[in-house]
Structure 1
Amino acid sequence: MSQAATPPVLVIHGGAGVIRREMTPVREKAIRAALTLALKSGYAELKAGKSSLDAVAAALVVLEDDPNFNAGKGSVFTHDGRNELDAAIMDGNTLSAGAVADVQRVKNPILLARAVMEKSSHVMLAGDGAEEFAKEIGMPLVDAAYFRTDERWQQLQKALKEDAAKKPHGDVETAKHFGTVGAVALDAQGHLAAGTSTGGMTDKRWGRIGDSPIIGAGTYANSGCAVSATGWGEFYIRTVAAHEICMKVTQVRVPIKRAAAEVINQEIPALGGNGGAIALDAEGHISIPFNTDGMYRGWIGGDGVPHVAIYGDEDDGTTELPVESGVSP
């Protein structure tokens, strides 16, 4: 469909969860700066006439490289003290998709996920095989120590102590750190794309893989809708959350704000899960529902001005963009 009258739009998230105003001003400033940089990096691709896939990848590389987020450099640790990274990307125009799971030496998993989509005949590669593929296509691997940050290591130590004491994790952020990063974009050609990257859950075991790299669960895009989710992955898998939102939009013709809210704030909590998502339709309307204390989020549209938010009492991501950018009333 023609999108000549609709400017490009980019929406990002850096995770939802226990995000309260107790964080230090220095940390808050750094997070807002990273979200802003990611928006500018992705939007520059769109303004240059590049694809929504290019925008999604550019934005997510910025967030993967920033240790404040649970993806790439700042990924959380597994029970065994490793960083196991997952990512996925999807082209809504062609329904092409690529994903990687349990990679431990790939600096930017979102780029490898895109390579799986564009340079292999598969959709998902995992573990050693995914890293072998990376080497075969000339993507350099990094030492596993690259991903280590002291903050994430201390989160694991706290969780391990609670495990040893056979106590439930008292700190939800330690037990299930929702720092996954994601992006959805609409380009000048009217094509949508979605991408998600994560380090998973602190103290996860047995090679656990969440919703982020599973097409339809944490990441999905078609010709009319793009979604990236963040939260308690098991529930997003069980509800096929990202696909469910897009089917409501494209098949049932439910407005995207309502469609996303029904899945994120009704269906998932009804099962005992929580989290958030970013959603974007082919008209440029956006939705950023979440049912946690806060969600790192940002958006940029026709005015070219990046907007970011963190806390639950800030703008919901649907009111600051001008009407001509396609934001629904």
Structure 2
Amino acid sequence: MKKPFAIAIHGGAGTILRSQMTEEMQQAVEQALDQAVSQGHQLLAAGASAVDAAVCAVKILEDSPHFNAGKGSVLTTKEMVEMDAAVMCGKGRQAGAVAGVRHIKNPVILARDVMQQSEHVMLMGEGAEEFAAQLGYDYTEQDYFFTDRRYEQLLALKAEGRVALSESRYPDDHKFGTVGAVALDQNGNLAAATSTGGITNKRYGRVGDSPIIGAGTYAENHNVAISATGMGEVFIRCCVASDIAARMRYLQEDIHTACTAVIQGDLKTLGGEGGVIAIDQFGEIHFGMNCEGMYRSCIDIHGRKQVKIYADDV
């Protein structure tokens, strides 16, 4: 008898307005979410690990220009991409992360390699790319990541002298650009993976919560796996992912209670907007957000698929 397995993914949260979402854009986003969750689930069904399923799903979203990660990453004030990613395996709480990489096509793959093929947890910038080169990674030119959409967005924000969390004017002004996945495999292992291009017009090598274990990414066997998306600085200050896990571990709260307490509690009180996806040891899935929407999809332990965008989607 097969043990339960399930997967959930997200493509960012925030003020996602129906009035500014074109039908073409919505179809493209939903198609990418469907492809990512379906391929991750196929791996789980074939007996693959939760880590490999989560990484597979995130890689597909990184390869899409519709999400702020990998190919679709936003541009810094120097008109470059600087990407962050993390992977965590619930078994033994192994983790790997990279920050500020510029020439890696799929940062989530490199984060997994940091976890599996180094003695470290986080590598940054040139050091992370040196490690990648030793493993035989291709050097990806910045041209691969450049899109007119992101360049126009950068110019608009430079003119206003501000930064933005990804989807400026297309299809909305306040979407937090991150992609992520959480999974439970047939061996009972949990895993989480998160990847982001950060914020438009960012400076000084800014890093958000996505690659920080316990803030934007966390997995712990017999408990929960979490991937977050939102205002990175506040998610870091609130240690969102580890706080949810701690509430489940010590207070014995269920996944829905713990996620809601954190997302609608201190995070919101401190001005933090965004959401999380989470899956527990039984395969129960929770999508939590304190904003108007989150690109999200899942296939639960019964094989039921959902693809949603807005907070009020039922």
* TM-score normalised per structure 1: 0.90
- 1:12 paired with 2:12, answer no
Letter paired with 2:132: A
Alignment of structure 1 residues 122-271 onto 2, 5 Å: 122-163=120-161, 173-174=167-168, 177-223=175-221, 224-271=223-270
Q: Work out the CA distance in 2 between the residues paired with 1:196 and 1:88.
A: 5
> 1:22-51, CA deviations, whole angstroms, 9 ceiling, x for partnerless residues?
211011000000000001110011000010
Letter paired with 1:288: F
Shift of 1:5: 6.7
Contact 1:225 1:250 in 2 (8 A): no
Contact 2:7 2:37 in 1 (8 A): yes
> 1:104-131, CA deviations, whole angstroms, 9 ceiling, x for partnerless residues?
0100000000000000110000001100
Structure 1 stretches of 5 or more lacking a match? 316-329
Contact 2:71 2:105 in 1 (8 A): yes
Q: Work out the CA distance in 1 between the residues paired with 2:68 and 2:134.
A: 27
Residues 70 and 93 (structure 1), Cα distance of their counterparts in 2 relative to 1, 3 Å cut: same
Residues 5 and 252 (structure 1), Cα distance of their counterparts in 2 relative to 1, 3 Å cut: farther
Matched position secondary structure for 2:91: coil
Matched position secondary structure for 1:288: strand
Shift of 1:171: 9.5
Residues 252 and 108 (structure 1), Cα distance of their counterparts in 2 relative to 1, 3 Å cut: same
Shift of 1:176: 6.0
2:295 matched residue in structure 1:
296
2:276 matched residue in structure 1:
277
- 1:312 paired with 2:284, answer no
Shift of 1:305: 3.7
Matched position secondary structure for 1:94: helix
> 1:282-302, CA deviations, whole angstroms, 9 ceiling, x for partnerless residues?
011111111111100001023
> 1:236-275, CA deviations, whole angstroms, 9 ceiling, x for partnerless residues?
1001100110111122111111101111121111111110
| Percentage of pairs with the same residue | 49
Contact 1:177 1:202 in 2 (8 A): no
Contact 2:165 2:200 in 1 (8 A): no
1:320 matched residue in structure 2:
none
Letter paired with 2:50: S
Matched position secondary structure for 1:314: coil
Structure 2 stretches of 5 or more lacking a match? none
1:34 matched residue in structure 2:
32
Deviates more, 1:303-312 or 1:128-137: 303-312
1:323 matched residue in structure 2:
none
Contact 1:88 1:100 in 2 (8 A): yes
Contact 1:181 1:198 in 2 (8 A): yes
Q: Work out the CA distance in 2 between the residues paired with 1:58 and 1:172.
A: 23
Correspondent of 1:61 among 49, 59, 62: 59
Deviates more, 1:285-294 or 1:298-307: 298-307
* TM-score normalised per structure 2: 0.95
Q: Work out the CA distance in 2 between the residues paired with 1:90 and 1:146.
A: 27
Q: Work out the CA distance in 1 between the residues paired with 2:85 and 2:16.
A: 23
Q: Work out the CA distance in 2 between the residues paired with 1:249 and 1:24.
A: 39
2:46 matched residue in structure 1:
48
Number of positions where the alignment pairs a residue of Structure 1 with one of Structure 2: 308
Contact 2:163 2:202 in 1 (8 A): no
Across the aligned residues of Structure 1 and Structure 2, the Cα RMSD in angstroms comes to 1.6
1:116 matched residue in structure 2:
114
Q: Work out the CA distance in 2 between the residues paired with 1:154 and 1:214.
A: 29
Q: Work out the CA distance in 1 between the residues paired with 2:166 and 2:220.
A: 33
Q: Work out the CA distance in 1 between the residues paired with 2:297 and 2:7.
A: 8
Letter paired with 1:253: Q
Contact 1:17 1:178 in 2 (8 A): yes
Q: Work out the CA distance in 2 between the residues paired with 1:19 and 1:226.
A: 25
Deviates more, 1:172-181 or 1:4-13: 172-181
> 1:121-167, CA deviations, whole angstroms, 9 ceiling, x for partnerless residues?
1000000110010010112121111111111111111110101xxxx
Matched position secondary structure for 2:288: coil
